[in-house]
Structure 1
Amino acid sequence: MILLSFDIEEFDGPREHGVDYSLEEGMRVSVEGTNRILDVLKANDVRATLFCTGNFAENAPEVMQRIINEGHEVACHGVDHWQPNETDFVRSKEIVERVTGVAVTGYRQPRMFPVVESEIKKAGYLYNSSLNPAFIPGRYMHLTTPRTWFMEDGVMQIPASVTPVVRFPLFWLSLHNLPERIYHMMVRRVLRHDGYFVTYFHPWEFYELKEHPEFKMPFIIRNHSGRQMVERLDNLVKMLKSKGHKFITYNEFVNIHSQSQPQKIE
């Protein structure tokens, strides 16, 4: 099973590097990137889960409608990606459900920062996907957390996939910078070991970042961005489909496993 997801947020990367960058500019980048993502998914006839910020939902209702119309799951990703706060669990759900008219069951915190699970449950979510169980200097230190899904305070936790033993992360940056053959090989290893694969990307990765030095984005983010990343995503989806793997939404994954026991923690 493939749990493919995208954090559909306003692009705020330049602000991390001291660039004065507006919400309107960030939305323009992310709308273009999101439509490129949706084009790839539609061409390959696969569904994904899109974690949307309240800002994106309110400023791009036509894109949100396209997401729904093409059969994808919508989940929540806070309200303002740049300034997450404690009330976002409730507010983001209210905003996304109002814009789409669809009930939301999942949450992912911006930048995968920690959340209070009891508050997630209280807000009405069934699952939380705010954990990358790897060691990434300056961002994550999660070498002792479970690699695979588990329950906490009545909420299913769905971590991003990392390789067994060494916990090499297989998220967006890895597909940007590794040779595709190596990345695909590691994904297949996770599938053999865990029985499913979880990963995530962002819309601004599919924008031509290399053409905008004024954004001051690091090379590892600019590398293979834009149409090259579109091609890499397309190749990944095609490889997985050729191996007979089924793409499902996170909500479907929760429904499948809600009556079973969590997998063994390593």
Structure 2
Amino acid sequence: MFLISFDIEEFDMAFEYGKSITFEEQISISVEGSHQILDLLKKHQITATFFSTVVFATHAPEIIERIKREGHELASHSYYHSKFATEDLALAKQKLEELSGLPITGFRMPRMMPVDEQEIAKAGYLYNSSINPTYLPGRYNNLSVSRTYFEKEGVLQLPASVSPMFRVPLFWLSFHNFPLGLYKYLLQRAYQKDGYVNIYFHPWEFTPLNNKQKFGFPGYVSKNSGGQMIARMDKLLAWVNQKGYKSSTIADFVKKIKPLS
């Protein structure tokens, strides 16, 4: 099963690099990128999951409506992207359900940061996709965590996919920096080994990010953004269909998993 998801949020990443952009531009960049993503998914008839903050959903009702109308899943990316409180877990679920009219069963913590699984369960989520089971200096050290799904505190944990050998992450940064052929090879190896892949991206990647004065991003973040990202994603989704990989929302994938140990 091919699981692709997008973290739709107020675009605040420039703050990490000492830059600032207005809130209006944070939203507009993510709205534009979300439309481009939805257009590509529609073109290739791929079903996806969108993890949204409440802030973004509130300010981008047209995106939430498209997600709903075009048969994708809406899941929770907490209330805010740059700050978090435990009570945000249940509140975000409630608000997203009110805004969309859709059931919200999944959660992903902003920036894939750790989150209390007991609190995830208390808030009523069925699955959590907040783990990158790899090692990235200064960000993640999850080499002891299972590469594939497992249960914890009654919640299904669905880590982002990494390669079977050496746990090379298959997330958005790899997609930007690896030759496309190498990325597809690693994706295929993970699919063959695990029977599914779980990869994720963001709408702001579909905006040109090379203006270092404005965004402050190093080359490995801004590489292959904007139009190049659109073209690469177009090729990836076409390849997924050529390989016969069936797409699914994460919620539907979770429903098909047999009782957990």
- Number of the residue aligned with 2:22: 22
1:35 corresponds to 2:41? no
1:54 corresponds to 2:54? yes
* Alpha-carbon distance, 1:213 to partner: 3.4
Moved over 3 A (4+): none
- Number of the residue aligned with 1:146: 146
- Number of the residue aligned with 2:71: 71
TM-score (norm 1): 0.95
Q: How far apart in 2 are the matches of 1:93 and 1:131?
A: 19
CA RMSD of aligned residues (A): 1.1
Post-superposition Cα deviations, 1:133-173, rounded to whole Å, max 9, x if no partner, equal 00011110000000000000110000000011310000000
Q: How far apart in 2 are the matches of 1:129 and 1:25?
A: 28
Which consecutive residues of structure 1, in runs of 5 or more, have no partner in the other structure?
none
Q: Map 1:117-128 onto structure 2 (within 5 A).
A: 117-128=117-128
Q: Map 1:72-221 onto structure 2 (within 5 A).
A: 72-211=72-211, 213-221=213-221
Which consecutive residues of structure 2, in runs of 5 or more, have no partner in the other structure?
none
* Alpha-carbon distance, 1:232 to partner: 1.0
Q: How far apart in 1 are the matches of 2:209 and 2:203?
A: 11
Q: How far apart in 1 are the matches of 2:259 and 2:191?
A: 19
Q: How far apart in 2 are the matches of 1:105 and 1:197?
A: 19
Residue aligned with 1:166, SS: coil
Equivalent AA in structure 2 for residue 195 of structure 1: G
Between the two proteins, what is the percent identity of the paired residues?
46
* Alpha-carbon distance, 1:77 to partner: 0.2
Contact 2:212 2:218 in 1 (8 A): no
- Number of the residue aligned with 2:243: 243
Equivalent AA in structure 2 for residue 225 of structure 1: S
Contact 1:58 1:95 in 2 (8 A): no
Q: Number of aligned pairs?
A: 261
Post-superposition Cα deviations, 1:202-244, rounded to whole Å, max 9, x if no partner, equal 0100111125631111111110001111111111111111011
Compare 92-101 and 167-176 and name the one that shifted more: 92-101
* Alpha-carbon distance, 1:261 to partner: 4.1
Equivalent AA in structure 2 for residue 230 of structure 1: I
